[in-house]
Amino acid sequence: MRSLFMRLLKLIGHIAIILVLTAITQVGGIIWLLAVIISYKIKKGKRIVFPLLYLLFNLVIIPPIASHFGRVKLPWFDNNLKPRNWFYPLAFRNYVDSELKDVLKDAAHVLGSSDITITYLDANFPFIDGFPLLPHLSHNDGKKIDLSLMYLDHNGISTSKKPSISGYGVYANTDKNYTSKSCLDKGYWQYDFTKYITFGTLNELELDKENTVRIINQLLSIPSAQKLFIEPHLKQSLGLSYQSKIRFTGCQAVRHDDHIHFQTK
């Protein structure tokens, strides 16, 4: 009886791991299942098999398969286009369609002449339109990506540093956000949810308005650009009121004064 109970607990544990990995990485659950089978066959621990298998899938197996489904991965290391940290590419959250990748690389090339680096956060998973990339509402078709704002260091010099580890949750010009209290008072609790996923703050930085505007204008100058989300107070303070493609997501989404959401047609 005890043996049966322990087997049941182990099964529940594996199911829980598969569900969590699937939610975070889309394909991590399948990799875990394969690691369990392989480790049983070769009599090696999952602690060895899973990381090796995971890296093999991440670097070698998934990218060519994803390309057949219209998704390509963004670079891990690039002088002008890079992730906020290793988590985004390692968790398979750096996939976009080929058109969006070309847009980002072209924009990064142009902005690179001004020493501006485009830093990406969550993009999309490798497969299946409509598969949710939590906690986002719409990152599910390869056409959406979150990008970091630009910042100034304590000397007022533009820097590639960001104020939080995740790239989310540290809001710019918060005192001017006239939508914040309204959304929260209406019961939209998720509106400032990202403040709980900073995973630590690193730097006391101020918004670099000039270079943030350069990134936004460069992205929106591309014919295939559909829209870009930032908070209304940032659109106003950055002097971007003329840009009709810049929208407010509404209270039902998370706030966008810690990052930029950009999408193509």
**65-114 confidence digits (pLDDT tens):** 999 999 999 999 888 999 999 999 999 999 999 999 999 999 999 999 89
* Residue among 45, 47, 50, 6 at smallest CA distance from 31: 50
| 135 cis-preceded (ω within 30 degrees of 0) | yes
What is the reported pTM?
A: 0.91
Distance CA 164, CA 32 (A): 30
Distances in Å between the Cα of 179 and the Cα atoms of 188, 190, 211, 255, 262 are: 11, 14, 24, 9, 20
What is the helix (H) or strand (E) element at residue 260, kind and residue range? strand 259-264
Q: In the chain, what are the domains?
A: 2-68 (no CATH), 72-264 (3.30.1380.10)
**pLDDT tens by residue, 137-193:** 799 999 999 999 999 998 889 999 999 999 999 998 766 667 777 888 888 988 889
First and final CA of the chain: distance in angstroms? 58
